[in-house]
Amino acid sequence: MTEPTFATQVSRWYERNARDLPWRKPDVGAWAILVSEVMLQQTPVVRVVPAWEAWLARWPEPRALAEDTPAEAIRMWGRLGYPRRAVRLRECAVAVVERHGGVVPDRLDQLLALPGVGTYTARAVAAFAYGQRHPVVDTNVRRVVCRAVAGEPDAGPTTRPADLVATEELLPVEPAAAALASAAFMELGAVVCTARAPRCAVCPVESSCAWRASGQAAPVGPTRRPQRYAGTDRQVRGLLLAVLRDATGPVPHQRLDQVWHDDVQRARALAGLVTDGLVEPVGPESFRLAGDGPAVPLP
């Protein structure tokens, strides 16, 4: 009998052990999966689940979000982090309505052309929403492939074209099986083949893992240096946005001056929010969330 392939082993493990996440349910559509993938960027699953559920309850289809304002998207994003994603997600919804009749496209080139949709997100939607055969490569997948196949302890901080090639070579030919394997690789890296404390004893491919065979230890330090938050412009931006999210109209400059003691840093953070399209000036002395006003229905 032929030995099961790497993808088959990991897929069988996934079918028995996958976390019960709401965007993995069989009746979830492409829009909901797209929203989950955007929210999951640099954000833990535990924080994403309630935000995703609230977002889809309010905007279950792209048109619903497209016809609302950027300000409401920013408000709904709340404290999920990196709020520029909310604006880009709304821009994406507008493009889906205008270019594709409100249906998230299934072609990879059309997904890649949507605002805010990059290499990873486009392939994730194509695979997980439409069951297509594409290498879906995030940090977790790169680590699994690098260890199990290349025998290296760490894949490095960025995705390279070679990572897509190496992952695609492991996928089954049949599209549905390939999509399942893509999800399985990602799950294995997230919960078993972790960066600093891999659980090799419960790994479905431990016996064939090239890294285990090499005897190399896991890296001691972090792959990426942890980002400091306290006292940074990012913290100040968050404080300013919190005031603007809670406001029902333009906020006077004097009110924003109260959120941070350093005038230069506060002004820099506010200017950055304006540049990023999250905040807009109203007259010479007030500010509001971008597009905070009556929604305009699309044609």
* 152 counts as catalytic: no
How far is 247 from 282, CA to CA, in rounded Å? 14
Nearest to 100 by CA among 116, 86, 90, 111: 111
Q: What angle do CA 269, 81, 46 make, to 5 degrees?
A: 160
Residue 205 and residue 6 in contact, taking contact as beta carbons nearer than 8 Å: yes
Residues 6+ apart with CB under 8 A from 217: 153
Choose the catalytic residue: 37, 91, 187, 280: 37
Q: Which residues are part of the catalytic machinery?
A: 37
